[in-house]
Amino acid sequence: MTIARFHVRHDTTYDYAYPVSESHHLLRLTPRTLPWQTRLEHHIEIDPAPDLRRAFTDSFGNQITVVQYIRDHTYLNVNSECWVDLAPRPRPTAQVATQTWEAVRDILRYQAGRPLPADRLQATAFRFPSRNIPVGDSYRAYALPSFSPGRPLTEACRDLMLRIQNEFIFDNEATDTFTPVSEVLTQRRGVCQDFTHLMIACLRSLGLSARYTSGYLLTHPPKGQTRLVGADATHAWVGVFLPGFGWLEFDPTNGICPDQAHITLGWGRDFGDITPLRGVLLGGGEHKLDIAVTVVPEEEFAQVYVEGDTYLPVLPGL
């Protein structure tokens, strides 16, 4: 079994026009430990040093870092770095993979007096609308050409994923964090967050369980060019619950099933549950936000980070 090792650096900088007298932030920047993903090392450096810092685990199992300031500050720098190992992801057996989408829908439906196993009970929380993802006839109508009667769920999801990739245009100026899914469906353009929200809206509108996964994606520079520091971004993709297997993932932005190029931070009902950094503050006025993400395979690490750069080194013996 081939293991892929990556270094990830995620820098976030806020520059405030006026001093902030108090602020509270939630950081969702710690990669999860999963059967196929091993977090070897992780460090979050925060400047200025916060007055309070603690960690807890949310209801989805994501690790959250809480940061609080009760004194004036004019900027906030958050640098998250990690090393992770990725093994090939498990795939469902042929018997599990051929379950029809209607059969899966019916398994997840509520029936009085019928107890559900723990994994199915947890999955039902992802069948319903959430703050940023509605359900409705328009999303069901868009999904139905992929979900013909008796079609296996895995095939139908793959078809829907590829339709979104082919029929929608990636445009990072077309939407923002708060663009509604209905507008994405109408305009047929957006970014990974939009395409993930749309696919989840389609699946939930059919009675299926789908969740929003946040993380990083290894990208490749143009042929003949070197990898640039800070040129990447966070990424998002879809998890669909498949009884007898668990969560099978689909990346509608790239039309692929995630494997050894997708690094998982965490998951939730939609982007609002797994925003990498969010908070509330008093003061500050307008602010400037800069985000830089770099995902580097271990074999390219020495080429990307030159002498004098500050980074989290490879741990001895790893």
| CA separation for the pair 142, 125 (Å, rounded) | 23
| CA separation for the pair 211, 132 (Å, rounded) | 12
Are 276 and 28 a contacting pair, CB within 8 Å? yes
Q: Which domains does the chain have, with CATH numbers?
A: 4-87+274-304 (2.60.40.2250), 94-271 (3.10.620.30)
Confidence check: pLDDT of 41 > 70: yes
| CA separation for the pair 79, 96 (Å, rounded) | 41
Percent share of the chain, pLDDT over 70? 92
Kindly state the average pLDDT of the residues 229-247: 87
pLDDT at 46: 97
Confidence check: pLDDT of 306 > 70: no
Mean per-residue pLDDT of the chain: 92
Confidence check: pLDDT of 31 > 60: yes
Strand partners, 235: 215
Sign of the torsion formed by the C-alpha atoms of 289, 164, 89 and 57:
positive
Encoded amino acid at 273, one letter = D
Tokens of 161: 């994923």
Using alpha carbons only, how large is the chain's radius of gyration in Å? Answer: 21
Confidence check: pLDDT of 229 > 70: no
Q: How confident is the model at residue 177 (pLDDT cuts 50, 70, 90)?
A: confident
Confidence check: pLDDT of 26 > 60: yes
pLDDT in tens, 125-139: 999 999 999 999 999
Kindly state the average pLDDT of the residues 66-70: 96
- What is the model's pTM? 0.93
pLDDT at 224: 63
- Which string of b and e fits 138-164 if b means at least 16 CB within 10 Å? bbbebbeebbeeebbbbbbbbbbbebb
Confidence check: pLDDT of 308 > 60: no
What number of other Cβ atoms are within 10 A of residue 79's Cβ? 19
| CA separation for the pair 81, 44 (Å, rounded) | 6
| CA separation for the pair 278, 17 (Å, rounded) | 18
pLDDT in tens, 150-168: 999 999 999 999 999 999 9
Place of tokens 């469902």: 92
Confidence check: pLDDT of 288 > 80: yes
What residues have CB less than 8 Å from 224, skipping those under 6 apart?
Answer: none
Strand partners, 277: 27
Question: Quick one: DSSP state of residue 138?
Answer: H
Kindly state the average pLDDT of the residues 9-29: 95
Backbone angles phi, psi at 84, to 5 degrees: -135, 150
Which of 51-60, 171-180, 251-260 bottoms out in mean pLDDT, i.e. has the lowest?
Answer: 171-180
Kindly state the average pLDDT of the residues 138-149: 98
pLDDT at 316: 43
Q: How confident is the model at residue 285 (pLDDT cuts 50, 70, 90)?
A: confident
| CA separation for the pair 190, 177 (Å, rounded) | 10
Tokens of 227: 């990898």
